[in-house]
C-alpha cells in the first residue's frame, strides 16, 4: 500500500511564526499536492508538484510556499502564520492518472 | 456554477437499503472520476475510480459515468452503519493544453447516515 506520511497530526503555532508541514510518500509517485479542508468550503488546492523542484500554484497559494527537493518529500511552508490559516492540511500523492492517496492530515491551529 | 456539484444531503437510509450519491461536473475535458469516503476526523480514502462511460462494480459499490450528461454517481448496495461517512466526488482538472498533472477538483461532499 502507498503510504503518505505527514509529520504532525496536531500543531499549535503563534501568529507570525514560520511553519513547516512535511509530507513523505513511499511509492515513487510523480505528483504531490497540498490541500486545506475547511467546513463549508471543502477541499481547496494550495500547491502541487509534478516533479522534483517543479511546483505550481493551486487555487489558494497566498501566504504559502512549497519545496520539493526530493521526489518523496513535499513541504508546505506558511511564511508568517495567521489565524485564517487555522485549518486541516492534507497532503496527497498520485501517479499520472490515478486517484490520490492522502496522508492522515495535520490539524493546525494558529493563535 | 460550481465545477463539481454533489447532491446536498444529508442522506439517511435504513440498513440494507441502496444509497445513491450523485455528482455533476462542468469541464467537458475531464477524463478521470473518483469517489472518496471520509470518516469524521479522518482523511479521505479512495473507494472507486472510473474513466469510461457505463458502470463499474466493486463489491457493494457501483460507480456510473455518463460523460454526455457530465454526471457520475455512486451506488452503495446493502448499506451498513459502517458506511456512514461523507462521500466526496472528485474530477480531474485538465489545463488549456489538456494536461492535468493529476489535479483534482472535489465536490463539497454528501453526508450519508445509515441507520439500523
Cell numbers for A82? 495567521
- Assign A85 to helix, strand or coil: helix
- Which H or E element spans position B107? none
The widest CA-to-CA distance across chain B, in whole angstroms, is: 49
Q: What angle do CA A7, A38, A71 make, to 5 degrees?
A: 35
Could you tell me the pLDDT band of residue B100, with boundaries at 50, 70 and 90?
low
**Minimum-distance CB partner of A103 among B43, B49, B88:** B43
Nearest in space to A77 (alpha carbons), one of A24, A17, A15: A17
The nearest alpha carbon in chain A to B4 belongs to A42
In this prediction, residue B107 carries a pLDDT of 94
In the predicted model, is pLDDT for residue A98 greater than 90?
Answer: no
Residues 6+ apart with CB under 8 A from B101: A31, A48, A50, A56
Mean pLDDT throughout B57-72?
A: 96
Asked if residue A42 lies in contact with residue B107, where contact means CB atoms within 8 angstroms, the answer is yes
Q: Is B106 in contact with A43 (Cβ distance < 8 A)?
A: yes
Using an 8 Å Cβ cutoff, are B4 and B105 in contact?
Answer: yes
Q: Which of B67, B76, B77 is nearest to B31 (CA)?
A: B67
pLDDT per position as a tens digit, A23-73: 999 989 999 999 999 998 899 999 999 988 889 999 999 999 999 999 999
**Whole-number Å distance between alpha carbons of B104 and B94:** 9
As separate numbers, helices (DSSP H) first and strands (DSSP E) second, chain A gives 0, 12
The mean pLDDT of B60-80, rounded to a whole number, is 97
Residue B10: cis peptide before it, omega within 30 degrees of 0: yes
Say if the Cβ atoms of B32 and A103 lie within 8 Å: no
From A80's Cα to the closest Cα of chain B, the distance in A is 26
pLDDT > 60? residue B1: no
Q: Quick one: pLDDT at residue A97?
A: 72
What pLDDT was estimated at residue B101?
Answer: 72
The DSSP output letter for A83 is G
Closest Cβ opposite residue A101 in set B46, B49, B103 = B46
Amino acid at each position: 500500500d502507498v503510504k503518505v506520511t505527514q509529520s504532525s497530526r496536531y500543531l499549535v503555532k503563534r501568529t507570525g511564526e514560520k511553519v513547516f508541514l512535511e509530507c513523505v510518500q513511499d511509492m515513487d509517485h510523480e505528483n504531490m499536492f497540498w490541500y486545506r479542508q475547511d467546513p463549508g468550503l471543502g477541499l481547496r488546492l494550495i500547491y502541487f508538484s509534478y516533479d522534483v523542484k517543479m511546483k505550481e500554484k493551486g487555487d489558494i497559494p497566498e501566504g504559502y510556499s512549497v519545496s520539493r527537493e526530493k521526489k518523496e518529500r513535499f513541504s508546505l511552508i506558511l511564511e508568517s502564520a495567521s489565524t485564517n490559516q487555522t485549518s486541516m492540511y492534507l497532503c496527497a500523492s498520485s501517479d499520472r492518472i490515478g486517484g490520490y492517496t492522502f496522508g492522515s492530515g495535520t490539524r493546525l491551529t494558529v493563535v | 456554477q460550481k465545477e463539481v456539484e454533489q447532491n446536498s444531503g444529508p442522506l439517511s437510509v435504513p440498513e440494507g437499503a441502496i444509497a445513491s450519491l450523485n455528482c455533476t461536473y462542468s469541464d467537458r475535458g475531464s477524463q478521470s472520476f473518483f469517489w472518496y469516503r471520509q470518516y469524521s476526523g479522518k482523511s479521505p480514502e479512495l473507494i472507486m475510480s472510473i474513466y469510461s462511460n457505463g458502470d463499474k462494480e466493486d463489491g457493494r459499490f457501483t460507480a456510473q459515468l455518463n460523460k454526455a450528461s457530465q454526471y457520475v454517481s455512486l451506488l452503495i448496495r446493502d448499506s451498513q452503519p459502517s458506511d456512514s461517512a461523507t462521500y466526496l466526488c472528485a474530477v480531474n482538472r485538465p489545463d488549456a493544453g489538456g494536461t492535468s498533472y493529476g489535479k483534482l477538483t472535489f465536490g463539497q461532499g454528501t453526508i450519508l447516515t445509515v441507520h439500523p
